[in-house]
Amino acid sequence: MTTHTSPASRHSNVETGVPGLDTILGGGLVGGALYLIEGMAGAGKTILSSQIGFHRVLQGEKVLYMTLIAESHDKLLGHLSALSFFDEKAVAEKMFFVSGYHALMQGGLDGFLKQVALSLHQYRPGLLIVDGFRSAREFSETDLSLSKFIHELNALVAAMNCTTLLLAPLSGNEPHPEHTLVDGLIELNRYSDGMRRTREIEVHKMRARDHMLGKHFFRITDSGHVMFPRLEARCAEQPGPADLKARLGSGIPRLDELLGGGFIKGSTTTLMGASGIGKTLLGLQFLSAGAQRGEKSVYLGFYESPQRLIGKAESVSIPLQAACDDGRLTVQWQPAIELAIDELAATALATVKRTGATRLVLDGIDGFRDSAMRTGRFGLFLNALTHQLRAAGVTTLLTEEVPFNSDPAVMRGMRLSAMTENLILLRYAETDTGLHRMISVVKQRESAHDSSLRELVITGKGLDVVDAFPGAASLLGGRGAAAGIVGRLDS
Amino acid sequence: MKTIMVVDDEFDLLTIWSLLLEQVGYAVVTAPDGAVALDLIRKARPDLILSDCMMPVMSGPELCAALFDDPDLRSIPIILCSAALDIPRQPNPVIAYCRKPLSLDMLLPIIEKMLP
């Protein structure tokens, strides 16, 4: 005689449909499992669970939203109706709102469990949301009675193959009995830095899933939650064998000579120098050279609007307007205000992938760094970002501003520059007749290069690299520093 | 109303199968192991037994054997469940085997077939 097994396969995956969340969860929720979502008031628990609910409705499931002491149903629906995922037609047809409060008041936790069983049988939902679970906590006379209730609820929703989300206030560091009995524990919280606040999610526990540990930034938009799994926590894709022969020209032949034939395809290079020395123009020249070959390029900057940027390039004979108009060049400008680096990185990567870009300029890595809320992670973050860019097959130039006449070997940017394969240093040399822009390739990790000092000349006719004038090295602000940098980077 | 006896050492499963089976129209009695179940069965014969395998005092297969040995109880339909891959086959004349975890959708058609 055969053995009957449940038609729902064990650990079936339930996608949440919330951008980024399924990646953090290790694929999604487990079908028929019980989850606790904790967060302080205003953390976004109701929006998150409703967003998942309406997504499950789109997948053809029914959803039951059961409230204890929480918002009234009409207020709840009123607030949700402003969000793009809200589907008014689904309410009462596919998404049902019922109160469990009376059952809890009259019959205690046993009465509430009975009501849940009744409702699951009546509505047959694939997803159950219990909002205001705090009331059940407060109604339990002892930890044991609450543990017994959670145990029974877990068995009940498993038997009904109904994935269940319990929404409760944040319990801080206090251990609650339900933490050990639920299948997953998700915390929505905020991080403060001075006057800034950001939202963060952390998955503390996720049975049967290899979830991402630690905190991840998220935003609540008109479309609901958008989550950004920490780049540095994602599994690194193994890069394929590097093609060291394929080079991308900069559009300046003498610079390509210094680089041994151009930028290595898929490499990341930092252009480092003081304000006004030509970092942005060099980056734009690189993009323009790509556009002339029919390649797609992306520029992401913080300080100059697209109109000013293109005007500036055209004034030194770097043609970009046509490329911008026909889509060969995508310019993204993010004013340097309170930005989220995870979102910036996600935007950059998505734009590169969407446009099929082969060249990218991230102009002002300082803009990224100044936006970072947790500055301690920035080095690993940048490393992860460059890794992902390499995996996307794009050749990237980052610009990094340093103070005038400082010793580059001790500047804060050096550790960050060490995370890119190549480093081009731009320094001012002052003579009786004026300032000269000096350029040298300090580091090129994957191939030989010419480390000679050259002069970068910027005129209305364009950019050029020419031989350095005699004695230029002795006039550099950070004289002899380049040798020091190489020594430090290699050690 | 037909009566189903649920035998399981996990209290949460006794609770929820009582709730769910009562909702679909059955009377339910519960027992935490095979020995308690056998005592209750001798006092009031149920129409069907839904039993776990691995339990203290008296296991599911031992309960099946005791029922088989009693001519008056031999014909009671049994659904024997286990989380283990192989459920030991029993000589009882009306018996079905189910792998845990159980779901209502899996169980109901089996019960309805055994209790027409």
How does DSSP assign A193-261, residue by residue?
A: ETTEEEEEEEEEEETTS-PPPSEEEEEEETTEEEEE--GGGSPPPPP----SS-EE--S-HHHHHHTTS
Nearest to B19 among A4, A32, A117 (CB): A117
Q: What is the pLDDT confidence band of residue A239, given thresholds at 50, 70 and 90?
A: low
User: Which residues does residue A147 pair with via DSSP β-bridges, in sequence order?
Assistant: none
pLDDT at A234: 75
Nearest to B102 among A1, A148, A159 (CB): A159
Nearest to B102 among A6, A113, A117 (CB): A6
Strand ranges of the sheet holding A224-228, from the earlier edge strand across to the other edge: A95-99, A63-67, A127-131, A163-168, A34-39, A184-193, A196-206, A215-221, A224-228
The verdict on a CB contact (< 8 Å) between B101 and A152 is: no
The CA-CA-CA angle for residues A426, A430, A432, to 5°, reads 155
CATH code of residue B72: 3.40.50.2300
- Pairing between strand A184-193 and A34-39? parallel
Q: Does B106 touch chain A (CB under 8 A)?
A: yes
pLDDT at B95: 96
The verdict on a CB contact (< 8 Å) between A1 and B96 is: yes
| Cβ-based contacts of B104 with chain A (< 8 Å) | 121, 159-160
Q: What is the pLDDT confidence band of residue B2, given thresholds at 50, 70 and 90?
A: very high
The verdict on a CB contact (< 8 Å) between B101 and A10 is: yes
- The alpha carbon of residue A88 is apart from the nearest alpha carbon of chain B, in Å, by 30
Kind and range of the H or E element at A21? helix A21-25
Residue of A107, A116, A110, A208 whose CA lies nearest to A160: A116
- The alpha carbon of residue A7 is apart from the nearest alpha carbon of chain B, in Å, by 7
Over the stretch A242-254, which tens digit does the pLDDT of each residue have? 677 789 999 999 9
Residue of B8, B27, B62 whose CA lies nearest to A159: B8
Mutate to test the interface with B, among A122, A124, A156, A164 (most CBs of B within 10 A): A156
The verdict on a CB contact (< 8 Å) between A10 and B10 is: no
ipTM: 0.88
Looking at the 3D structure of chain B, how many domains does it have?
1
pLDDT at A56: 98
Over the stretch B53-106, which tens digit does the pLDDT of each residue have? 999 999 999 999 999 999 999 999 999 999 998 899 999 999 999 999 899 999
Structural domains present in chain A: 13-229 (3.40.50.300), 247-490 (3.40.50.300)
Listed by number, the residues of chain B in 38-97 with a beta carbon closer than 8 Å to a beta carbon of chain A are 87, 89, 95-97
pLDDT at A433: 79
- The boundaries of the domain holding residue B28 are 3-114
